[in-house]
Structure 1
Amino acid sequence: METKKSPKANLENYSKLFVQLGLVLALLIVYVGIEYKTFEREIDDLGVLNMGEEVEEDIPITERIEQIKPPPPPPPAPEVIEVVEDEKEVEETMLESTETDENEVVEVEEIVEVVEAEEVAEDVPFAIIEDAPIFPGCKGSKAELKACLQKSIEKHVGRKFNTSLAGDLGLDPGKKKVYVVFKIDKSGNIVDVRARGPHARLEKEGISVVNSLPKMIPGKQRGRPVGVKYTLPITLLVE
């Protein structure tokens, strides 16, 4: 059996009334707090505080007395005072002027010009040599002689080098390079030949081919014969 609540007992119906009552009560509390008055309390007389007069004391001023030492007595005077006459002659130093007269003839020693000999390196790289070595049969200007030397060396090596040697050594396919470094000395001979490559037999072949180059006219630097360093790259194609 369900219980039924009376509609009058439901408080939700009076919620607005409760809100209004609460608001009125809050306003009343605020009003009373503002209108509340307080009064100052009277404090009984604590009596008269009697401060005694300050007693002033006279402090005597003291002075520091320093003892003054008497000065030392003067030295005793000599019994006899001798007067010595200054008879020594003083030599005067005469300063002569270093200035010369315009009309005076000044002798000047002969000036000898010393020409220092310019040092020239014994070995000069081929890239900076002034006068490149001359390959037999080359003619023309300095630039033409230099270009002719390079072409002649490359032609000689290409004709003499055994290109089939690279394929017989079992090297991997591709381009292989052998660098040969040598010097054309002051007499035009090929000396100090060295090589670096992928195989010792290729290096030996490169040295042998370069040593077979003909004698050349030596290069010059500042008009003097010098050794010329040359680097020759040899490219081989291995199939």
Structure 2
Amino acid sequence: MEPKKNPQQDLNKKSSLYFVFGLLLVLAMVFVALEWKTYDNVYDFDIGLNKVDKTIIEEAPIFELEIIQPPKPPILPTEIEIVEDNDPIVETIIETTEATTDTEILEASNIEVIDIPDDLEVIWTTIEEVPIFPGCENEKDKRACFNDMMQKHIRTNFRYPELAQEMGQQGRVNTQFMINKDGSIGTIKKRGPHELLESEAVRILSKLPKMTPGKQRGTAVKVSFSIPITFKLQ
């Protein structure tokens, strides 16, 4: 029986070879596709556009800034300067009372009796017996002891008003107070640079203790005493 096809024209003989070539071709296409790279277009700019024309003159605006002052630092504790009483001293001339041959003898009707009024006021420098500050009863120089105790009392009770410190108020307050006939503290007068400092000076003097009253001719009288209190910021 003769075959229907020519053996030389049989395509199945080379099918495996064609398969290998096709497979290589596909692999090559896949490799090229995976390794394919693209790049962005490069644009060239003319840097001449960035050059500034020197003929053009521009004036920059001027701004004025307000300087804010920093807050004031806290005020440190202050020192108090105590000034002793510097009122002028008025000398009292005491004439002798001893009788001599030239002494005129007066009749009883000619004797003038001087009564010391109840509201008599004597200043510190002319009082015969000064008021006695508590603690000075046994001291010989009661005036000096009185001044020392006054300074100690002011230093102990001194408080600089905080508001006066913030306002920068300082200066000397001249004060004058009355020691009544019973030894209590009476009217207090003050004069200073600010009412806050005056109020503090009055507060200090109002805390003075009761004293032994001063005497004039053996009778208790009112005695006025002056002392300045200085408020000084450091």
When normalised by structure 2's length, the TM-score is 0.49
Is the radius of gyration larger for structure 1 or structure 2? 1
Tell me: higher relative CO, structure 1 or 2? Use CA pairs within 8 A at least 6 residues apart. 2
